[in-house]
Amino acid sequence: MKNARRHPAGLLLALTLSSPAMAALGSSAGSVDTDRQQMHASALRSTSGGTYTVHEYTLDSGTVVREYAQSSGMVFAVSWEGPVMPNLQQLLGSEHFTTFTAAARSRGRSGGPMVLQQSGLVVRSTGHMRAFAGQAYLPGQLPQGVSIEDIR
């Protein structure tokens, strides 16, 4: 696996086409970019800052998915933006996906964004048909200096 060059401050664009670590939220990065392939997505683009790496790919629908990984490889946040929802079960992992859908079922009908805030999982799903955007992260796993506003 190629290592992205790192800079002490800011993000440096580092194109890498080999198989970097991809994983569901909370999982450690593996040696295969399972998520990307499962979702039939574009080649990966990885961007690395001081404390985390962002792996970005584009689905065939045009939806952009980002996975934020600690230096250890563990994915602490994911985000999506585009016309079609991504495979959330793949992206959140089965356990977090179950939590998300249970919360969605219990909340009743509001038509607005879905916000799930628990100590172990935060999921925000916003937008409307043909224009979705969302983020999910593990509150206890954000690297130092990373704010939730960095997760786009």
Partner 1 sequence: MKTFADIGRHASRHLWAVLATVFLVAGCGGGSSGSSSSSTSTGSTGSGTTTTPTTTTPATGSDTNVVAITLDSGPAGVSSRLANIPYVSVTVCPPGSTSGCQVIDHVIVDTGSYGLRLVASVLNNLSSLPLQQNVGGSPYAECAQFVSGYTWGSVRTADLTVGGLTASSLPLQVIADPSFSSVPSSCSSTGTNQGTVSALGGNGILGVGSFLQDCGSACASQAIAGTYYACTINTFCSSSAIPLAQQVANPVARLPSDNNGVLVKLPAVATGGASGVTGSLIFGIGTRSNNALGTATVYGIGSTTGYFTTVYNARSYSRAFLDSGSNFYFFNDSTLTACTGSTSGFYCPAATRSLTAQIQGTNSATGTVNFSIANATSTFNANPNANAFSDIGATSSDTSSFDWGLPFFFGRSVFTALEGASTPGGTGPYVAF
Contact residues: partner 1, CB under 8 A: 39-40, 59-62, 83-90, 97, 99-119, 122, 124-135, 139-140, 142, 147-149, 152
User: Least separation, in Å, of the C-beta of 70 and partner 1?
Assistant: 16
4 vs 88, beta carbon nearer partner 1: 88
User: Least separation, in Å, of the C-beta of 151 and partner 1?
Assistant: 9
75 vs 81, beta carbon nearer partner 1: 81
Place of tokens 């998915």: 65
18 vs 98, beta carbon nearer partner 1: 98
Q: Could you give the CA distance from residue 134 to residue 136 in angstroms, rounded to a whole number? A: 7
User: Least separation, in Å, of the C-beta of 32 and partner 1?
Assistant: 19
30 vs 113, beta carbon nearer partner 1: 113
Kindly write down the DSSP assignment for every residue of 86-123, as one continuous string. Answer: --HHHHHHHHHHHHHHHHHHHT----S-EEEEETTEEE
User: Least separation, in Å, of the C-beta of 7 and partner 1?
Assistant: 22
Q: Could you give the CA distance from residue 42 to residue 64 in angstroms, rounded to a whole number? A: 9
- The answer to whether 126 touches 113, Cβ cutoff 8 Å, is yes
User: Least separation, in Å, of the C-beta of 113 and partner 1?
Assistant: 4
Distance of CA 32 to the CA centre of its chain: 16
Judged on CB neighbours under 10 Å (0-12, 13-18, 19+), 73 is: middle
Q: Report which DSSP code applies to 6.
A: -
29 vs 116, beta carbon nearer partner 1: 116
